[in-house]
A and B are shown apart, each in its own frame.
Chain A
């Protein structure tokens, strides 16, 4: 049981952090389809730096630095060049996938994967007794727990969080209150870049300790689904991410337990099916209540 919960948490961590990133962005009024790209770029930067320097601190720092630059670029493109938010986000995701695959070949001469000599620290490694499975969890998973609480607190209990939410809910009202909307959006995207850097490092340096092409397997999009499924609320988004982790762990477990009876693909399919059902139900319920789905609304002056 303990092992299973640990597997859940391990599977959930990257999605969880990326989903929190997506939540900050969407609260600020930016639909963030670049989460996948930031996961991949974070994973690559972390692994490449770990290989090059052998330092886990530098690896994390590099992932954060790269993602902050990419997030700032996202903001510049959508704010100053008025590029479509969805397209820039998708472009970021696709470019990151292509660029890291290319860099694997050019820099490391490898098309398959690069292995890192070191991994993320595991703070409870070496415990014995019933808590022993905790030893498998990386420091980023524990960070995710703390950061999700921070996300809740910052959104629900601070003035800055309130203003951030206003930027997404009604930018005109935010402007009327004197909130510098664009700056809040930049801040939200930068926080998101940081969170995705951690998520990416978890992806490549926690268990497998290697970076391979296509490492994220669409987890960034799953994170985006978690944002919507969780109603763009801190708690909801965390619950949705943990649910996705649970489903992934079930998929792994079913491969072990009844390999022949039930094809694991069906279990792996479950979170996606549930996402589609849940989002459809929410949308229908909203329509029943006469509310419109808000993706992004901008009242003009």
Chain B
């Protein structure tokens, strides 16, 4: 069969109005969505907001045909979609950009485009050259700078999003749904994305975007609707009729969310708890090597490390923790050099960690809560353990940290993201804490949980710990940190002091900030 170059249709994005009517979804006995009715007109950007577990992702997946609703219908234009049929939804012009991307890790970019190429049937062969050409066209059309033969698993997260958006736009959809597209982006890239969405909407497309933060909603959306516990508590409402406070209230209900604030900066004479000198270290292929990184954190001080992901933050954190070897330079905790010390010794000196990937590095999702809680004692104490005592201790700790759970025997994976993070805090923030390293402590958490976690960091500093926060969330860092360093290409390229200004920090993150 002769490979046919698939036609790239001109940008006639005839949008269509998407209507959900009485949509309900059950997962087992759990009602993830109940009776959601909403209309999203074409030519606008619609924000869907809500806390974790409110049903935002489920709603977007119902609209895209990935989840079969127990009741209710989804309509595009005047076409009623059959529930839970992705092919049919895509044929009718509904594309979903996933939060964690639906791109097979060992595929090339070109192969991913072909996988999602709905214009041709199952039967048929292609040539490498044809595939590459089509991908190059699509990437160019979407303004993504990536080689068609790049392997997905080796691409940084921003590029992945660009690829995912390009593949979604490849079919010229009428409705484009984006599930938390901003969770992985640094501020400059976020503005680029928002401009893009605005242009697509201006061309007539119906753009539905799931968002977390109020500022983002007011930055991009024409209308906003809010989900809480699976119910639509605010119908799509023009943004002009809303203010942040109203929307926040809709999202969290009557719970009051208070800003964590921060502690006063410690005196310059306060003893240095964590000192990193001219550190060189490399964690793996996905992160730049940390090169010549020096930082000092005093007792009670909170220092942030900002940067686009992959610029050496992980190398730095892993070297401090002790899971990656120190190539050059030194690390000292409480004045003692620990450059060559094993993790256990560093922990004994008061180092505690909230790791990057809480579900992979922080806890074992398939283990019971008490087992995760007891894991910190690894290697200490007696050879045998007494589960009853450990369970009791876990219970006390979880109660103190206000974790919602049923039983300490339940699998950790059953908890929501915020509660998982709190179980890690409960394990890590204990007596003897001197240095706390927190990597993306609030990533993916809802407003209330994020605020709790930030509060915990601030209290740890108040109690005299040195805190290092690595985050992609500048607002968060500006709220709690006394100093913010920016890493780029493995080096610390800039240091900012209070009061912070987002513009120069964001510019430094992408290497633009005044040289």
Q: Do A and B come from one complex?
A: yes
Chain A residues with CB under 8 Å of chain B are 153, 157-160, 162-163, 165-166, 169-170, 172-179, 289-291, 299, 301
Partner of A163, one of B103, B122, B125: B122
> In the complex, what distance in Å separates the CA atom of A291 from the CA atom of B65?
32
Could you say which residues of chain A place their CB within 8 Å of the CB of B285? Answer: 289-290
Contact between A162 and B114, CB atoms less than 8 A apart: yes
Contact between B127 and A177, CB atoms less than 8 A apart: no
Shortest C-beta distance, A24 to chain B (Å), equals: 16
Could you say which residues of chain B place their CB within 8 Å of the CB of A177? Answer: 86, 90, 102, 115-116, 118
Measured CB to CB, the nearest residue on chain A to B122 is: A160
Given contacts A158-B125, A162-B115, contact A301 B66 (CB under 8 A): yes
The A-B contact count (CB < 8 A) is 81
> In the complex, what distance in Å separates the CA atom of A153 from the CA atom of B67?
34
Contact between B126 and A289, CB atoms less than 8 A apart: no
Shortest C-beta distance, B100 to chain A (Å), equals: 8
Known: A159-B114, A299-B100. 5 other contacts (CB 8 A): A162-B114, A165-B107, A173-B102, A176-B86, A177-B90
Write out, one digit per residue, whether chain B residues 103-117 have a CB within 8 A of any chain A CB (1) or not (0).
111110001101111
Could you say which residues of chain A place their CB within 8 Å of the CB of B111? Answer: 162
- B141 contacts the other chain (CB 8 A): no
Measured CB to CB, the nearest residue on chain A to B27 is: A301
Partner of A157, one of B116, B123, B126: B126
- B143 contacts the other chain (CB 8 A): no
Contact between B124 and A170, CB atoms less than 8 A apart: no
Chain B residues with CB under 8 Å of chain A are 61, 64-67, 86-87, 90, 96, 98, 100-107, 111-112, 114-118, 120-127, 153, 283-286
Could you say which residues of chain B place their CB within 8 Å of the CB of A173? Answer: 101-104, 112, 115
> In the complex, what distance in Å separates the CA atom of A301 from the CA atom of B64?
13
> In the complex, what distance in Å separates the CA atom of A162 from the CA atom of B121?
12
Partner of A176, one of B96, B106, B123: B96
Closest 6 CB pairs of A and B: A290-B284, A178-B87, A169-B104, A173-B102, A176-B102, A170-B104
Shortest C-beta distance, A300 to chain B (Å), equals: 10
Contact between A157 and B127, CB atoms less than 8 A apart: yes
What are 10 sample pairs from A and B whose C-beta atoms fall under 8 A apart?
A157-B127, A158-B124, A162-B111, A166-B107, A166-B115, A173-B102, A176-B102, A177-B118, A179-B115, A301-B67
Q: Which of B102, B114, B120, B153 has the most CB of A within 10 A?
A: B102
Shortest C-beta distance, A291 to chain B (Å), equals: 7
> In the complex, what distance in Å separates the CA atom of A160 from the CA atom of B124?
8
Given contacts A159-B122, A159-B123, A289-B284, contact A169 B105 (CB under 8 A): yes
Partner of B86, one of A166, A175, A290: A175
Measured CB to CB, the nearest residue on chain A to B167 is: A177
Could you say which residues of chain A place their CB within 8 Å of the CB of B120? Answer: 159
> In the complex, what distance in Å separates the CA atom of A129 from the CA atom of B64?
66
Could you say which residues of chain A place their CB within 8 Å of the CB of B107? Answer: 162, 165-166, 169
> In the complex, what distance in Å separates the CA atom of A177 from the CA atom of B116?
5
Contact between B98 and A157, CB atoms less than 8 A apart: no
> In the complex, what distance in Å separates the CA atom of A169 from the CA atom of B103?
9
Could you say which residues of chain A place their CB within 8 Å of the CB of B153? Answer: 291
Shortest C-beta distance, B286 to chain A (Å), equals: 6
Could you say which residues of chain B place their CB within 8 Å of the CB of A290? Answer: 283-286
Partner of B118, one of A166, A169, A178: A178
Shortest C-beta distance, B501 to chain A (Å), equals: 36
Could you say which residues of chain B place their CB within 8 Å of the CB of A157? Answer: 125-127
Measured CB to CB, the nearest residue on chain A to B101 is: A173
Could you say which residues of chain B place their CB within 8 Å of the CB of A153? Answer: 125
